[in-house]
Amino acid sequence: MRKTIGLLSLLCIGLANNSTAQAKQEWNSIFAKINKEVLEHSNAYNSLKIASETIGHRLTGSENGKKAEDFAYNLLKSYGFSNVRYQPFEVESWSRGTLKVEIGSSMDQLKTYKSVSLAHSPVASDIQLEVVDMGNGVEDDYQAAPDKVKGKIALVYLGTLPGSKAGTPSLHRSEKTAIATKYGAKGIIVINTAANGVLLTGTASVTGKLIPIPAVCVGKEDGMELKAQIQKGPLYSHIQMTNNSGLIKARNVIATINGTSIAKEKIVVGGHLDSWDLATGAMDNGIGSFSVLDMARTFKALKLQPARTIDFVMFMGEEEGLLGSRAYVDEAIKDKSIDQIRYMLNYDMTNDPKGYHTSDADSKELFESIGKIANQLDSNFKNTFSVGAGLHSDHQPFMLHGVPTGGGAGGSLPKGAGPCYHADCDVFSLVEDKGMRNTVRFNTMLLYGVADSKELKAKHFTDEETRLFLIKNNLKEPLTIAGEWRWKD
């Protein structure tokens, strides 16, 4: 690092050298203390290592999931939080059982393919049907031949195929499964985008409930070979699977720091603690959730108490349909505190960020003023700023109810870990201590600045403003597919 804890001399730098009006004078000294504390005492990397070695995967509803909830609760207690609580919720759990996928040019010439079930597939399925290539698996692919997949198995690419027409949407696997089901498919085979035979799991359900058709993933090389075979003649598959499902109880873990002068307003900062069961979930989302835990530790270690109240939340059930964050928002709606939530900062696979992002452009001045101080402490933090909105992480339920969202941006996963997303190679050896420390220190600064700012220009949208915002960000189509578009237009 070019600038680290030696820059405590920045304590004397005032806003005369920081021309952005949103920052407070005292943030210079507070951020320098945050910087020093995290660089010298961060526990993010070590606590994730212990959890990975002693718990393993953190699947919601499993014994491991319960152990992870307790681990986070006890860790927060050890940091000095007296008001840590569990937020229980009931969910429809899912876990994989057996799977065999055979594919060939005829039913008596089938070859077994390495594969993995996608979550929320049926508890039992045994089908023998023709396989048809449905390209990217988006609406256009089906509308070109509406009956092509009816009563058959759809073969779709997880991402967007090379050579696809401009503007082809990149839909989630669950949305592609919903579209295939809509057009009468009786099964779906998803081709992973990662090379070298890596298999991906994850939910194929837009609702978090069981889907009516079996959904499986095959490796990229096998999948592209199958696409080529279909060009030469018919292809058939025999898919046999069993899975487990039933109502279980899970728990978010919440620690609160009460605000001072604007205590009724709340900032929620969180990341999902749960993971899939193929590995230990180090990247998804150990690096995010355990960084949030260390942000909480840093606040306690420095006795930081900003103007607004902060909830540090370890969400469970994200992987199975944002279940924990939905439960949190549902409770806030029920107790009428939803309008008091002024910002939600989400950390999902965040690593070594170089800047900040937000869903609300009005936050530019504030975020850049915070980032300017961070850049003065370490010039490796570039203070980039981006505005945008997407789906499929724990910010979504907040955003759908008008809450501005944001977090760290501009980083990258360590050691080429991207292909291990949701895969059996998502293990702790991929994690780098430095990247987690950078997530913690720069985003503790962001969190404090947002919670302590005199004014938050980012407003909590009304229902109509939320609708227009989602349309502007091209989110109506995927939300409609998911059955979450609550407006009648």
pLDDT in tens, 250-261: 999 999 999 999
Closest CA relative to residue 228, chosen from 141, 102, 105 = 105
What's residue 12's pLDDT? 34
157 Cβ contact list (under 8 Å, min separation 6): 135, 136, 137, 190, 191, 193, 223
- What are the structural domains of the chain? 5-91+248-458 (3.40.630.10), 106-233 (3.50.30.30)
Average of per-residue pLDDT values in the chain: 94
What's residue 21's pLDDT? 59
What's residue 207's pLDDT? 87
What's residue 157's pLDDT? 98
* Ranges of the chain with pLDDT below 70: 1-21
pLDDT in tens, 63-103: 999 999 999 999 999 999 999 999 999 988 899 999 999 99
Q: In this structure, what token pair is assigned to residue 182?
A: 């809509």
